[in-house]
Amino acid sequence: MSNHFVVRTQAALANQQLQSALAKAGGGFVARRQAAIDAVDDFELMRDQAQAVRKKSLADLEIYLAYFEQQVEAAGGRVHWAETTEDLRRIVIELCQQANAKTIAKGKSMVGEEAHLNQALEAAGMTPWETDLGEYILQLAHEPPSHIVAPALHKTKAEIEQLFKQAHTLGERDLSAVKAIVDEARAVIRERFLKADVGITGANMLIAETGTAVLVTNEGNGDLSACLPRTHIITSTFDRVIPTWEDASKIIRVLARSATGQPITSYTSFFSGPKTAKDHDGPEAFHVVLLDNRRSEILGSDYREMLHCIRCGACMNHCPVYQTVGGHAYDSVYPGPMGAVLSPLLRGYNQDYELASASSFCGRCEAVCPVRIPLPKLMRKLREQEQSVVPPGLLQKFALAGFTWLANKPGLYRRLTGLASACLHRLAGGRGRLHRLPLASGWTSVRDLPAPQGGSFQSQYRRAGSAKKSAGK
Amino acid sequence: MDSQSDFRTRLFAKIAQANGKQSLPENLTASFQQLINGTKGQQSGLAPIADCLAAFKENARLAACELFEVISLSEINTLLSERMPAGANLMVSPQPALQPCEWSVATTDNAREAQWGLALAEIAIAETGSVCLHSEAVATGLLYLVETLIVVVQQSQIVARQEEAWQQMHIGTGQRPRALHMITGPSRTADVEQMLQLGAHGPREVLIFILAN
């Protein structure tokens, strides 16, 4: 894949299946979120409460995090600390080996995706089974997710049907109905829950007061992965810790409404430690693996508010850029506006800085963010930072130096811009638009350039001012 | 493991520094309790819900639950004999309140052989039509492996909002079920072209019996 966003978008725009999938998904998310918000009286208050929880959780994070660890251990579990994605892979593999694991049922985990955990588990001789339908489809297709809530959003039904027919040896059958696809996945994956040695899930939140991992799902695969295998491993990051169950409720209220337009998902589950003598079932071992991967640097930087993110995906559902090119064009597990901020901060790849330029700054991402993260402001900051990380090319340098010189000479600037607009006006003739212009084919190949009509803003302002004066006399 | 504990030390130092602090407090528990004093045990601060029963019913229906209001548990038998297919097994959670009943259908103790499950909720939440069940009372398999899940809710157990549910269940430091499941309607997925399909990995149907006080 190209290192350049613009090149990747060309392929996305030309991909008709992707464009058809995006068209089907996009508007639905927006309409469902709006309906869910209209159905309650106090959504803005819910947002204020959720934002306040994220803010206070980070303000005393070291205390909440230490208390969380203490409580996980009090419940009989263990917390593990991973500085890098490589550390996370190593720790998870060691835990799986301790459990003598051959097979692993996996719930959806963005941290697992961030660390490319599946490939590492396979390389270590184990078989990871994705159990979330979207993730399962992508595992069959050998593709990364393109959306943080709906990972297979870029796949059409026809493509999924094809993948299932290739992967499952069930003979000729009709998979044209969505129900048939879902039922087939249910039957195949059901056996895997029952057979898996280890279950790996993510966590939407970690509650300090009881050492609890909160898991929000619709399919029920998270609960089955967490409770049926002998070992439950949770892959998450340290910044997910919040103080209390009351605080968790504040996040839960805005999460599903913003993500899928549901008041709440079918399953919101709270897991604390391994099976006790009082339990009917549950895992014998309970591990929480917490990844840093530069988040501790974000905490001490101007980008701290990015750690408020609760991963609802509303920003990408409302982003005109994401809706046009899809998630894969971002070449990161975190796409859309939140990904444009998070990807360069987590990975430090130079090419990630250009993602912040993939924005029209329309501001919808900030307007819909349930915890009011100022995404455009953070993207603007990244654009500024890009200048020092990725030095501009010679042409850009000369152009900027030339403009600076000219802008410092107002008389010359006025004369030159006046001359330029008069030339363009004449070139356009009576049509008022330019169909073709040398050196500007990037613009004119897809749309006409409107030609200036009359003088510049400054000259018109001056004229209007003197007209007012003479009218006043 | 040494490198892990080194990193843990460095991480806590970095977080404290980012928060303008020197180090962790000497008495962690006291500091934590002091920090949560302001919010622990508080109500939601949202608009009051006047009629919890009505709100619970409305929201549970929106989440695709079927609702029945009964005065005795034995009324469940009527539905079982009408709706449970021949050859299907019912798994009844071994909760004391469900034991005195005689069930009119075949039962099993093994979740893997059960197509129908029956359990009693600890508590129900009006704001979303959710029921809460935990691992000390009910096996996970019963809640997630069956095709049809029946949950009995005592009307007096319906609270307005989540915060009240946590408080009534006395959840807090040291007090925690291993797993608490807040269930709102049947299992579902929209991973195929964002078209909603009920019955992903868990129950295809959730039937709620509200037992009058």
- Cα-only R_g, chain A: 27
- Minimal C-alpha gap between A205 and chain B (Å): 14
Sheet containing strand A267-271, edge to edge, reads A241-242, A205-207, A212-217, A267-271, B179-183, B130-134, B123-125, B158-159
Token couple for A378: 């953070």
Burial of B156 (0-12, 13-18, 19+ CB in 10 A): exposed
Q: CA of A313: how far to CAs of A23, A318, B132, in Å?
A: 17, 9, 27
Residue B164, classed as helix, strand or coil, is: helix
Q: Among B41, B47, B192, whose Cβ lies nearest the Cβ of A178?
A: B192
What is the spatial distance between Cα A221 and Cα A104, in angstroms, rounded to a whole number? Answer: 13
Band of residue A396 on the pLDDT scale cut at 50, 70, 90: confident
> Of the candidates A363, A364, A339, which has an alpha carbon nearest to the alpha carbon of residue A352?
A339
Q: Among A70, A263, A274, whose Cβ lies nearest the Cβ of B128?
A: A263
ipTM above 0.90, yes or no: yes
> Of the candidates A411, A438, A412, which has an alpha carbon nearest to the alpha carbon of residue A424?
A438
Residue B59 contacts A, CB cutoff 8 Å: yes
pLDDT for res A473:
57
pLDDT for res A233:
98
pLDDT for res A425:
86
More confident residue, B130 or A422: B130
* Cross-chain Cβ contact B193/A132 below 8 Å: no
Query: Which chain B residues are closer than 8 Å to A219 by Cβ?
Result: 187-189, 200-202
* Cross-chain Cβ contact A66/B187 below 8 Å: no
Residues 6+ apart with CB under 8 A from A148: A110, A311, A313, A316, A333, A334, A335, A336, A338
- Minimal C-alpha gap between B73 and chain A (Å): 23
pLDDT for res A27:
82
Token couple for A126: 């184990």
What is the spatial distance between Cα A10 and Cα A12, in angstroms, rounded to a whole number? Answer: 5
At B126, give phi and psi (nearest 5°).
-70, -40
Mean pLDDT, residues A384-398 taken together = 84
Query: Which chain B residues are closer than 8 Å to A132 by Cβ?
Result: 191
Give tens-digit pLDDT for A72-84: 999 999 999 999 9
Token couple for A444: 């004119």
CB atoms within 10 A of CB B176: 25
Band of residue A147 on the pLDDT scale cut at 50, 70, 90: very high
Residue B81 contacts A, CB cutoff 8 Å: no
pLDDT > 70 in chain B, percent: 99
Band of residue B1 on the pLDDT scale cut at 50, 70, 90: low
Q: Among B19, B63, B179, whose Cβ lies nearest the Cβ of A227?
A: B179
- For A258, how many CA atoms within 13 A lie in the half-sphere containing its CB? 28
Token couple for B185: 């309607």
Q: Where are the alpha helices (DSSP H) in A75-212?
A: 85-98, 110-114, 117-123, 133-141, 157-167, 178-195
What is the spatial distance between Cα A112 and Cα A85, in angstroms, rounded to a whole number? Answer: 9
pLDDT for res A442:
80
Kindly list the structural domains of chain A, giving each domain's residue range(s) and its CATH number in brackets, ordered by start. Answer: 40-293 (3.40.50.10420), 398-472 (no CATH)
Weakest-pLDDT range from A145-149, A273-277, A458-462, B179-183: A458-462
Chain B residue closest in CA terms to A239: B15
Q: Among B24, B162, B172, whose Cβ lies nearest the Cβ of A63?
A: B24
Give tens-digit pLDDT for A76-115: 999 999 999 999 999 999 999 999 999 999 999 999 999 9
What is the spatial distance between Cα A46 and Cα A61, in angstroms, rounded to a whole number? Answer: 22
Confidence check: pLDDT of A470 > 80? no
Q: Are A313 and A262 in contact (CB under 8 A)?
A: no
Mean pLDDT of chain A: 93
Residue B168 contacts A, CB cutoff 8 Å: no
Confidence check: pLDDT of A152 > 70? yes
* Cross-chain Cβ contact B19/A42 below 8 Å: no
> Of the candidates A303, A306, A304, A322, which has an alpha carbon nearest to the alpha carbon of residue A381?
A303
Q: How many helices (H) and strands (E) does chain B have?
A: 6, 11
- Minimal C-alpha gap between B98 and chain A (Å): 16
> Of the candidates A242, A323, A218, A202, which has an alpha carbon nearest to the alpha carbon of residue A60?
A242
What is the spatial distance between Cα B210 and Cα B192, in angstroms, rounded to a whole number? Answer: 34
Name the DSSP letter for residue A434: E
Band of residue B2 on the pLDDT scale cut at 50, 70, 90: low
Give tens-digit pLDDT for A304-354: 999 999 999 999 999 999 999 999 999 999 999 999 999 999 998 888 988
Q: Among B21, B179, B187, whose Cβ lies nearest the Cβ of A271?
A: B179
pLDDT > 70 in chain A, percent: 100
Q: Which helix (H) or strand (E) holds B152?
A: strand B148-154
